[in-house]
Amino acid sequence: MPTGNRSRISNLNICLTGFMGTGKTAVASELASITGRRVIDVDLEIVKTAGMSINDIFATMGEPRFREIETQEIRKASSQNRVIISTGGGAVLKGENMELLRARGVVVCLSAGAGVIFERIRHSTERPLLKVDDPLGRIKELLASREPYYKNCDLMINTEQKTPAEVAREILEEIA
């Protein structure tokens, strides 16, 4: 993380990103419990704004429209101070999103290996990007294509073999 952010961390947002199944929602909840900050889950805000599920947005409007709504919600969330923002795994793909998140926050990428991710999400029906014949193969493909974007985050934390509380404490220690 850039050293300039360390002195301002108490006023910054904590922005979580990372591939689906890496624990963003659970870690955000733990961070909120520890810090007393409010969580803004960008995917939940997208659902509220669109008035339909993410699956339905992808099916009826397509991924490009989903990404537009995502940026609108990130813009709203990023305009606030001292909140925890949990983004979807593809939010990092758009430079504008990263600029918005970094303007008032530190961006933390949660990571895990493809096999771990697959085991965590294999029974979920709410993952439109994995509605394919080979979801594990798709996870590997998406992880590889997103890796440079995830590495561009301020901090990367592997969530394998850790509880959400352990990950939250590690984040707070790293950004303190």
Helix (H, G, I), strand (E, B) or coil at 110: strand
CATH of the domain at 143: 3.40.50.300
Q: At what angle do helices 24-35 and 164-175 cross, to 10 degrees?
A: 60
Residue whose C-alpha is closest to residue 40's, from 69, 97, 83, 94:
83
pLDDT of residue 9: 59
Residue 126 lies in a domain: yes
Burial class (CB within 10 angstroms; exposed 0-12, middle 13-18, buried 19+) of 170: middle
Range of the domain at 34: 7-175
Residue 76 lies in a domain: yes
Residue 21 lies in a domain: yes
Q: Is the pLDDT of residue 10 over 90?
A: no
For 48-62, what is the mean pLDDT? 93
Residue 37 lies in a domain: yes
Q: Is the pLDDT of residue 64 over 60?
A: yes
Q: How many domains does the chain have?
A: 1
Please state the pTM of the whole predicted model: 0.89
**Rounded to an integer, what distance in angstroms lies between the CA atom of residue 91 and that of residue 37?**
22
Burial class (CB within 10 angstroms; exposed 0-12, middle 13-18, buried 19+) of 27: buried
Residue 2 lies in a domain: no
**Rounded to an integer, what distance in angstroms lies between the CA atom of residue 103 and that of residue 24?**
20
152 φ, ψ (degrees, to nearest 5): -80, -5
pLDDT of residue 128: 62
Residue 98 lies in a domain: yes
Q: How many angstroms from the chain centroid is the CA of residue 10?
A: 20
**Rounded to an integer, what distance in angstroms lies between the CA atom of residue 16 and that of residue 175?**
13
Residue 124 lies in a domain: yes
Helix (H, G, I), strand (E, B) or coil at 144: helix
For 109-146, give the DSSP string: EEE--HHHHHHHHTT-S--GGG-SS-HHHHHHHHHHHH
pLDDT of residue 129: 62
Residue 1 lies in a domain: no
For 125-138, what is the mean pLDDT? 77
pLDDT of residue 125: 66
